[in-house]
Amino acid sequence: MIVNADRGAPWQVFALACALLFLAFLFRRLPWARWALTGAGVLALIVAGVLWAALS
């Protein structure tokens, strides 16, 4: 699989992570949603960090 990543990609993934973590906060009363959104947000933060390191 070929992924095209421009200079803005880390910031876009970081924004996605922030949105997912905010949704996890909003849905904190539902344990399954909280854990799923938190896990997805943390993974997005890791991917943003890897992209940032790879593109800089």
Q: Which residue has the tokens 């993974």?
A: 43
pTM: 0.83
Q: Which amino acid is at 38?
A: T
Per-residue model confidence (pLDDT) at position 3: 61
The reply to whether 47 falls in a domain is yes
Nearest Cα residue to 14 out of 52, 37, 3: 52
How many domains in the chain?
Answer: 1
Burial class (CB in 10 A: 0-12, 13-18, 19+), 44: buried
Task: Give tens-digit pLDDT for 5-35.
Answer: 677 788 999 999 999 999 999 999 999 999 9
Tell me which residue range forms the domain holding 32: 9-55
Judge contact between 44 and 20, C-beta under 8 A: yes
The reply to whether 16 falls in a domain is yes
Separation between Cα atoms, residue 46 and residue 41, nearest integer Å: 9
